[in-house]
A and B are shown apart, each in its own frame.
Chain A
Amino acid sequence: MGSTTLEVGARCPAPTLELSLLGSFELRAGDESLGVPASSQRLVAFLALRRGAAKRPQVAGTLWPEASERQAHGSLRSALWRLRGSGGDVVVGDQLSLRLAPEVAVDFRMAEALSRRLIDRSLRPEEADLGLASIDVLSADLLPDWYDDWALLEAESWRQLRLHALEALAGHLADAGRYGEALLAAMAAVRGEPLRESGHASVIRVHLAEGNHVEARRQYGQYQHLLKAELGLEPTPRLRALVTAS
């Protein structure tokens, strides 16, 4: 590692920095939204999605893959320089590597942790995890409309995690007798992927837990209709058994 520490963007004794990657990119210091140039946004987002430091050549090569090595390093220096105008200590590093400043709170990281608490049966979700705020967080895509390979891969990985988490959340809420919120979570999972059967199964289970057998069958019928129209297929016997047993 190099000897000097570079503080990029150091300007003021900044309030807590919050980086939002869910829904859209936004960097905030308290209530203030900080304007970050596009090329710097990509740098900040890339570092935020990594766990730990990234070597400068890797950062430059990933973010500017079509450029020569010299051009890519120049673009990286430019992106870092532009961050200085954004008013927060966002990126730290040295001559060899860069990383997101540890004090930057990233919504995506918190959402990942939330998802794991909901999905992992050996963990007990916190009371604050069970509610509408979690449904909102788990309904948001990661950096939609970003088309870099590294962003797309993370976005797809998050998509899978959040759909499972929404279904788990629906189960936790239904177990607690909070059927309205459970239904919202399950419906959010269906919206995330309308042709995914487990989402519809979650909705049906909530209806059944509440004793709404007609609603459960209606949901089954909607999925059956959709699957037939889109793919010419029928739901699985397992899903059919779920509603016929009721």
Chain B
Amino acid sequence: MVTAGLQAGRIDTNGNSKSADRAALFVVRAWHEEGSTKPLRVHLRQTHDVDHGFESVLTLADIEEACTVLRGWLESFLAGRPAQAAGGTGE
């Protein structure tokens, strides 16, 4: 599993770790389907606010498509757009 997160946190007065408003997370899980004509499987989960859970989940079989989704997610994160605008279909 590969994780990539842009996490910003703060500590409240009680010592609890709190997510900042724009704590984002993109989780990539990849596996190999032996014998398939395209054996790569890439399962992507993404959110721009972990307080609301994952906003988009999808599975791909192509490296370039996965990279495109990651790029879109980063761009939309910087632009303040919802994670689902990053592309792909949610489950």
Contact = CB atoms under 8 A, between A and B. Distances in A.
Interface of A: 38-39, 42, 63-67, 71, 74-75, 77-79, 145, 147, 149, 152-153, 156-157, 193, 195-197, 230-239
Nearest to B27: A152
Contact of A147 (B16, B25, B33, B37): B25
The 8 closest A-B pairs by CB, nearest first: A236-B35, A75-B15, A66-B9, A78-B15, A156-B1, A147-B50, A39-B16, A231-B61
Contact of B34 (A65, A66, A230, A236): A236
Contacts, number: 79
Given A152-B3, A196-B41, A231-B60, 4 more contacts: A39-B14, A39-B16, A39-B17, A67-B11
B59 interface: yes
B38 A231 contact: yes
Given A195-B59, A238-B35, A66 B10 contact: yes
Given A66-B11, A145-B53, A156 B17 contact: no
B40 to A, nearest CB: 10
B90 interface: no
29 contacts: A38-B16, A39-B17, A64-B17, A65-B9, A66-B17, A67-B9, A67-B11, A71-B11, A71-B15, A75-B17, A78-B14, A78-B15, A145-B53, A147-B23, A147-B25, A152-B1, A152-B3, A153-B1, A156-B27, A196-B41, A231-B38, A231-B41, A232-B61, A233-B37, A235-B36, A236-B33, A236-B36, A238-B35, A239-B35
Contact of A197 (B33, B50, B61): B33
A39 B15 contact: yes
A187 to B, nearest CB: 18
Number of chain B interface residues as a range = 20 to 34
B70 to A, nearest CB: 17
Which among A74, A153, A233 has the highest number of chain B CB atoms within 10 Å?
Answer: A233
A186 B1 CA distance: 24
A67 B41 CA distance: 37
Which among B14, B19, B34 has the highest number of chain A CB atoms within 10 Å?
Answer: B14
Interface string B58-71: 01110000000000
Nearest to B19: A147
Contact of A66 (B7, B27, B50, B61): B7
Contacts of A65: 7, 9
B25 to A, nearest CB: 6
